[in-house]
A = this chain, B = another copy of it.
Amino acid sequence: MRQSQLFTKTLREPPKDEEAANARLLVQAGFIDKLMAGVYSFLPLGLRVLKKIEHIIRDEMNKAGGEELVMPALHPLENYLKTKRDKIDVLFHLGSVTGKQLVLGQSHEEVIVPLVKKHVSSYKDLPLAVYQIQTKFRNELRAKSGIFRGVEFLMKDLYSFHRDEKDFEKYYEKMKKVYFFVFRRAGISPDTYLTYASGGTFSRYSHEFQTLTSAGEDTIHLCEKCRIAVNEEIINETKKCPSCGAAKLRQERAIEVGNIFSLKTRFSDAFGLTYKNEHGINMPIVMGCYGIGLTRLMGAIVEKHHDECGIIWPDEVAPFRVHLIALESKVKGKRSKVHKAVERLYEELLAKGVEVLYDDRDYKSPGEKFADTDLIGIPWRAVISEKTLEKNGIEIKKRDSTKSEVVTFAHFLKGIAHRV
């Protein structure tokens, strides 16, 4: 994409109304725009990142046997009366002109269970895993930390359905691994930890996935040996690692980037979701649920990967792979050698399917272009100037490195197309 075509501009200064680094950088670089506290637009650059994260999550959920669907945001309140969740304090309530009482979904158990009930009736239909990537709403008193704790946010929620606890546990263990695949591809392993949290009324523990960042909302207690953590609630109960029993735990700031729960038969019971077993006997269906906030994950990536000059996107979630820049001395009314070389390279990169942002803005100084490059944080910077052309080449630099080198066009094209 030609940067001159991008309608968003980087801001000279970070916004004054944002405290969190993720929001300051994402707003300043033109990835997001704040409409009000906890409610953001995703601009072309930000939407590209969000789609990359969506792709990773969809891919891993499909591989884990998930079937994708999409459920509505508007729910009838009556479904929440059945599950006794109508008083949850983060629910947005609204009335319809037809007199129906509605809420905005912050979770979808009240929709997915009656829906699955229409299609699942036999042990042959189980196990089943369905998921969606969909916009959710929380009536938050203190929306804060940029896109960490949103009032409106994009989330992946998967629900699994099983004939018994044993089958559920097998899937639950599998999903723990799948979550780490997601976090690795999103560039936030290795310091993301499976974290024991309270299981509420259903089971002893649920599990969060916490990633270390000084901007984190939570404190976790790490067991170096097991590479797991416990959250504040659990540490107050047990004072030790629930896995190995070690008492020496290291305290860290972290942010939750995913969570998985055992739901037992709580929601199945509320809606009468059962299956017929091999003997024709009706049995309750055992459920689990598995969430990842996509916008929150995007914020966590930025918190973990930035420096004083801007964002440093991990490869697989970067909006583009290459930021191409021409430094040309202006020859009035005449296209320079540099201009011709950079235009040709841009076309060659597109032809090879390399995602490239080409800074073709001739009214920007080299210093402004470099500052924007660092702020936006695309993994590879590639610069063509008269100096590099003398060497018949291009200067390349990784965003997270201070070293640059001049390589030939052929070498660059070959390497970048093979994802060096």
Digitize A20-33: 1 where CB-to-B-CB distance is under 8 Å, 0 elsewhere. Answer: 00000000001001
CB neighbors of B among A17-68 (8 A): 30, 33, 35-37, 39-44, 46-47, 50, 67-68
With A8-B119, A76-B35 as contacts: A70 and B41 at CB distance below 8 Å: yes
Q: Decide if B5 touches A96 in the complex (CB within 8 Å).
A: no
Q: Decide if B68 touches A44 in the complex (CB within 8 Å).
A: yes
Is chain A's interface secondary structure helix, strand, loop, or mixed overall? mixed
A interface, how many residues as a size bin? 35 or more
Q: Given B43, B72, B116, B152, which contacts A7 in the complex, CB threshold below 8 Å? A: B116
A323 contacts the other chain (Cβ, under 8 Å)? no
Q: Given B73, B98, B125, which contacts A73 in the complex, CB threshold below 8 Å? A: B73
Q: Which 5 pairs show the lowest CB-CB distances between chains A and B?
A: A94-B94, A41-B71, A39-B72, A42-B70, A97-B139
With A41-B115, A44-B67 as contacts: A73 and B135 at CB distance below 8 Å: yes
Q: Which residues does A use to contact B, with CB under 8 Å?
A: 5-9, 30, 33, 35-37, 39-44, 46-47, 50, 67-76, 89, 92-94, 96-98, 100, 104, 111, 115-116, 118-120, 125, 128, 130, 135, 137, 139-141, 151-152
CA distance A119 to B100 in the complex (A): 41
With A125-B7, A128-B7 as contacts: A111 and B68 at CB distance below 8 Å: no
Instruction: Give chain B residues whose Cβ lies under 8 Å from the Cβ of A89.
Output: 97
Q: Identify 12 residue pairs between A and B in the complex whose beta-carbon atoms are under 8 Å apart, listed by A's number.
A: A7-B128, A8-B119, A35-B111, A42-B70, A43-B69, A44-B68, A47-B68, A47-B69, A73-B73, A74-B152, A92-B96, A135-B135
